[in-house]
Amino acid sequence: MQRIVQEVDTITASDLHRRLSQADGQDEVSHLAQRFNSLLDRLETAFAGQRTFVRDASHELRTPLTVLTGELEVALLQERSPTEYRRVLQSTLDAARMLTALTNGLLQIARASDDPSQVPMAPVRLDELLLQAHEEVLRRQPTCRIDLEFGEPTMPGSAFEVLGNEPLLLSAVLNVLENACKFSKDSQEPIMAIITCLGREVQLQVRDRGVGMTEADRQQVFVPFFRAEAIRTVPGHGIGLPLTAKIMALHSGSIRVDSELGTGTQVTLRLPLVRS
């Protein structure tokens, strides 16, 4: 036990790769060391993920900040015409909006990663939330066409009601609908958003006939800041689906992405219904 205490005291955040040496037996002390080593495994993974997230977030934040600084510095080098000043102001406004959207997304990811007990929950009608998200997406992208389909509730009085945090769930649905719009702009077929009840779960499927993605890219879609090769030219930061995945996990739900390059993508969200 003294040796374990000494080894634990020497482990810091900078050397989480180290493990206790007394974990190869079958007695109680070895079992304790094994559990502590498992804890170190999880901590090492979490710290590595945090470092990667901070690195990628810093890179994404640097881009609009560089645009802002560069445009303003060039504009101040000499006197310019009102038209040129207007162009600079528009460019900096676009960069500021991009920075705001990215910052909001990062804050939402942090909030969605919180302890569920610290996030206020209440009954939410997912069908009404879908209508609200649909209206907002069409306001942002008026040329996008989304057809809605509503199934019949399977339990009397349930009416697609889930227990959740409405702003976070709205953000999740918005992310999925906006992605479908962005990645299927050249498609002549409408996006389908279908909400149904499956047993004690409510399911929302969003299908598009857009560019799709390869299987290798599909396996990376929940990694923050990842952008699939086929959609690198589409504006975005690669935080929509990772954020949605965290929100679904926070609500004991699930998300699944099925896609084929050149054919389209289907995103399926599932949440437990409120028990009557």
Q: Who's near 165: CB < 8 A, 6+ residues apart?
A: 119, 120, 121, 122, 124, 250, 251
Average pLDDT over residues 58-68: 74
Q: Residue 234: what pLDDT?
A: 60
d(CA 198, CA 162): 13
Q: Residue 118: what pLDDT?
A: 67
Pick from 209, 236, 204, 200: which is nearest to 221 by CA? Answer: 236
Is residue 42 predicted with pLDDT exceeding 90?
no
Check if CATH label 1.10.287 holds for domain 1-112. Answer: yes
Whether this prediction's pTM lies above 0.75 is answered by no
Q: Residue 85: what pLDDT?
A: 87
Q: Residue 115: what pLDDT?
A: 61
CATH for the stretch 123-272: 3.30.565.10
Average pLDDT, the chain: 81
The pLDDT tens digits for 77-97 are 888 898 888 888 888 887 787
d(CA 68, CA 95): 6
Confidence band of 72 (pLDDT split at 50, 70, 90): confident
d(CA 13, CA 17): 9
Burial of 14 (0-12, 13-18, 19+ CB in 10 A): exposed
Structure tokens belonging to residue 202: 């409510």
Confidence band of 270 (pLDDT split at 50, 70, 90): very high
Average pLDDT over residues 40-67: 72
Do 60 and 104 touch, CB atoms closer than 8 A? no
The pLDDT tens digits for 112-123 are 665 666 678 899
Q: Residue 154: what pLDDT?
A: 63
Cα 122 to its chain centre, rounded Å, is: 22
The pLDDT tens digits for 205-260 are 999 998 888 888 888 888 766 666 656 566 655 677 888 888 898 889 999 999 98
Confidence band of 177 (pLDDT split at 50, 70, 90): very high
Same fold across 1-112 and 123-272: no
Q: Who's near 104: CB < 8 A, 6+ residues apart?
A: none
Q: Residue 71: what pLDDT?
A: 84
Q: Who's near 195: CB < 8 A, 6+ residues apart?
A: 126, 127, 130, 148, 149, 150, 151, 160, 202, 203, 204, 205
Domain boundaries, the chain: 1-112, 123-272
